[in-house]
């Protein structure tokens, strides 16, 4: 899923300081699972904003709503009739949702309410870690199912570097060394010999390097 983290409330308050009618808009997908932008967090942020307005003696109307998804026009249409009541929206969706909402409501300021961080998984409640950088050309088949692009701090294709220490990365003893994980996994798969296969230069044109990406699927297009 897309993992997001809370934005400091001061930053959100600063964005909203000139607005009087605000919609806090959550999303029921990834950001709900990672507890950053679902219905619950919408409620918490809206209350904090109301309290702040009271403290500052301002008259501000703050509404709450959580859509099924903000990365889908169909769901974004649900606010078409009510959007005119607001002079600003704080979207607690990922960066995709913020932008898609802004595209639908062109003359409305849509502010991000979270920091979109990575594609990852839930380790345990309250802990999420990165797994994928969406490079557009998956090499997991050759690396024992562990991604060096997303999980090695130097994205080495032929690692590990000389800084790998007792399973941890040189940048931080809290971070697993991706190449230690790869070696362990190749061993478990009885494929350690594959370690010596040279990984060719990567074609980054399917990555961010190639410019904004697009997937067109003729087979599913209508």
Partner 1 sequence: MTTKTPSKLEKILRDGHLAVTSECGPPRGSNIDHIVKKGELIKDHVDAINITDNQTSMTRLCSLAACIRLKLMGLEPVLQMVTRDRNRIALQSDILGAASFDINNILCLSGDHQSFGDCSQGQNVHDIDSIQLIQAVRHMRDEGKFLGGDELEGKPEMFVGAAANPFADPFEIRVPRLAKKIAAGVEFIQTQCIYNLDKFEEWMKGVRERGLHEKCFILAGLTPMKSVGMAKYMQKRVPGMDVPEEVIKRLQGVEKGKQADEGIKMCIESIQRLKECEGVAGFHVMAIEWEEKVPEIVEAAGLYPRPNGN
Q: Which residues bind ligand SF4 (CB under 6 A)?
A: 152-154, 156, 159-161, 163-164, 169-170, 177-179
How far is residue 146 from each of residues 20, 113, 182, 197, measured CA to CA in Å?
A: 48, 31, 6, 16
Beta carbon nearer to partner 1, 145 or 163: 163
Shortest CB 140 distance to ligand SF4, Å: 16
| CA 154 to chain CA mean position, Å | 21
- 16 three-class SS: helix
Shortest CB 132 distance to partner 1, Å: 17
Residues 6+ apart with CB under 8 A from 153: 169, 170, 171, 175
Q: Are 83 and 108 in contact (CB under 8 A)?
A: yes
Beta carbon nearer to partner 1, 57 or 162: 162
Q: What are phi and psi of 47, to 5 degrees?
A: -65, -40
Size of the site for partner 1 (CB under 8 A): 31
* Residue 178 binding target from partner 1, ligand SF4, none, CB below 5 to 8 Å by type: ligand SF4
Shortest CB 204 distance to partner 1, Å: 7
* Residue 189 binding target from partner 1, ligand SF4, none, CB below 5 to 8 Å by type: none
For 104-123, give one letter per residue: b (16+ CB within 10 A) or e. Answer: bbeebbbbbbbebbbebeee
Beta carbon nearer to ligand SF4, 27 or 183: 183
Query: Residues 142 to 201: which contact partner 1 by CB under 8 A?
Result: 153-167, 170-172, 177, 180, 183-184, 192, 195-196, 198-201
Task: Write out the two tokens for 120.
Answer: 């990852």
DSSP conformation letters of 156-179:
-SS---TT-BTTEETTEEEEEPHH
* Residue 222 binding target from ligand SF4, partner 1, none, CB below 5 to 8 Å by type: none
Site of interaction with partner 1 (CB under 8 A): 153-167, 170-172, 177, 180, 183-184, 192, 195-196, 198-202, 204
């Amino acid at each position: 899923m897309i993992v997001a983290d809370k934005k400091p409330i001061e930053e959100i308050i600063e964005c909203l300081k000139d607005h009087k009618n605000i919609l806090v808009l959550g999303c029921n997908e990834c950001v709900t699972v990672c507890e950053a932008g679902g219905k619950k967090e919408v409620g918490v942020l809206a209350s904090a904003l109301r309290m702040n307005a009271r403290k500052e003696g301002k008259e501000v109307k703050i509404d709450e709503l959580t859509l099924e998804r903000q990365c889908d026009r169909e769901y974004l249409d649900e606010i078409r009739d009510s959007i005119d009541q607001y002079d600003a929206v704080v979207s607690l969706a990922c960066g995709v949702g913020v932008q898609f909402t802004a595209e639908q409501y062109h003359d409305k300021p849509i502010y991000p309410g979270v920091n979109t961080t990575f594609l990852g998984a839930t380790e345990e409640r309250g802990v999420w870690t990165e797994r994928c950088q969406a490079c557009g050309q998956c090499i997991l088949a050759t690396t024992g199912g562990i991604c060096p692009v997303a999980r090695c701090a130097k994205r080495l294709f032929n690692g590990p570097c000389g800084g790998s220490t007792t399973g941890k990365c040189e940048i931080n003893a809290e971070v697993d060394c991706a190449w230690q994980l790869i070696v362990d996994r190749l061993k478990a798969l009885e494929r350690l010999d594959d370690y010596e296969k040279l990984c060719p230069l990567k074609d980054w044109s399917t990555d961010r390097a190639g410019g904004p990406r697009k997937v067109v699927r003729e087979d599913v297009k209508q």
